[in-house]
Amino acid sequence: MFFITSFILALAATTAVSMPAPKERRDVRMARRSSGGAPIISNTAAGALLNASTVPFNGVTGSFAIPTFTVPAGDDPIDLGAANCENGILAGINMEIKNGSQFINAFWTSFPDGNDHFFPNVSFAQGDNITVSIAMTNATSSTAVITNESTDETSTVAIETGPICSQAEVGWLLQAVFDDSNDIIPYVDFGTVNITASAETSSGPVDISNATIVTTVQNGTTIASASVEGGIVTIAFV
């Protein structure tokens, strides 16, 4: 089985923010490939990625406080699946300011289908502590759960996919979003996001300290940096 799970938190600075289209999300996953654990430079993402060594991942979790934002923001999902696997799942939160109003939604997408679905019965505000997780039931069926820890509201969905392939990657990322012209919207200053990250295989929890770091560089300038220490993935606006 192959598992990728990414937390993707995107923050953007214009009013014309839209969720990344499925193709764009997939392109982001493709673009963040690197070899041998070398740091990855991306123009759309920052955070950490981890490959399974011998035993595939079967679950991944991230907990964090929704950052403060005052301009349109983006996307904070986890995904399960991979660039080299046809099938996968993405789940998390999307943050936007549209027409002066703030929206924070939890959503999930499966690949290759690519349609966004919203988690019912849960809502969020800036500063809320949330936990997102995906766990495989079997090769073609998973459960995604999002919880607002601040109120104990939880929403759980069952997600069917095609067979997930046999190599594994998990990740916790902050991701840029795209405007209606498919241009990358620059990050706004999101400060620091600390994600308490964990992943597990059938053998139990995995040490994430060797995760590959992903740094966002746009137009030659480092926009966001990341580090991993003690099970916390820290992503910082530079």
Residue ranges in contact with ligand NAG by CB under 6 A: 33-35, 37, 49, 51, 65, 99, 120-121, 123-125, 127-129, 137-138, 140-141, 148, 150-151, 153, 155-156, 169, 184, 186, 191-192, 194, 207, 210, 212, 218-219, 234
Q: For ligand NAG, give the closer residue by CB, 108 or 124.
A: 124
Q: How far is the CB of 8 from ligand NAG (least distance, A)?
A: 15
Q: How far is the CB of 150 from ligand NAG (least distance, A)?
A: 3
Q: How far is the CB of 112 from ligand NAG (least distance, A)?
A: 19
d(CA 124, CA 141) in angstroms, rounded, equals: 27
Q: How far is the CB of 37 from ligand NAG (least distance, A)?
A: 5
Q: For ligand NAG, give the closer residue by CB, 141 or 166.
A: 141
Q: For ligand NAG, give the closer residue by CB, 114 or 151.
A: 151
Answer whether 25's CB lies under 8 Å from 157's CB: no
- Which residue's Cβ has the minimum distance to ligand NAG? 150
Q: How far is the CB of 196 from ligand NAG (least distance, A)?
A: 10
Q: For ligand NAG, give the closer residue by CB, 51 or 102.
A: 51
d(CA 129, CA 61) in angstroms, rounded, equals: 13
Q: How far is the CB of 79 from ligand NAG (least distance, A)?
A: 14
